[in-house]
Amino acid sequence: MDSKVVLCYYLLQMVLSDRDIKKALHEKRIIIDPKPNLEEQLGSCSIDLRLGNIFKIFEHSKFPFVDVRESEAALLITKEVRVDDGDSIILKPQDFVLAVTKEHLSLPDDLLARLEGKSSLGRLGIVVHSTASIFDPGWRGVVVLELGNLGKIPVKLRPGMKICALTFETLSSKAETPYYKKKKAKYLNQRTP
């Protein structure tokens, strides 16, 4: 491949800067609802999202194992818990819970979002995703977090706190089949974990 073509290919695929994120939000290419407070949530190349109120807690003591061939395995072994604003949830060492952000995200057909953890939480042993870090072009829904405590000390988390950051990357062209057009888009418009 010609080096000029390779250079152009890589220049087309780039992470959005704070300026580009603001522009995409203003033009409604990226929709975040409720609207973020840019003074508090916008970084130089990312935007912070806040922890929501709904959690799925694994009831590991009730089940001897999980059969991953069961399409709804996570539903069978979890219990949904709502934590009010002002209250908290304690993530004990080795705990793993699913959670959502307060914000609902909609992406255009030519951008993907990448979920990143917050270093202030990572230094306490809190991870926000174990595998699901990419939100496809055309994504619509809340961001689901896979929260785990890898540390040795319990950590208190509160709805409304900054929990993660999203970065945005341009695609070389619009996706032919964005997420909202997929026949089996099982997480489309999700509101809970």
**Looking at the annotation, which residues are catalytic?**
146
Q: Which of 162, 192, 189 is nearest to 37 (CA)?
A: 162
167 near 113, Cβ under 8 Å? yes
165 near 48, Cβ under 8 Å? yes
DSSP 37: -
Return all residues near 82 (Cβ < 8 A) that are at least 6 apart.
Answer: 53, 54, 55
Q: Which two tokens stand for residue 31?
A: 């929709």
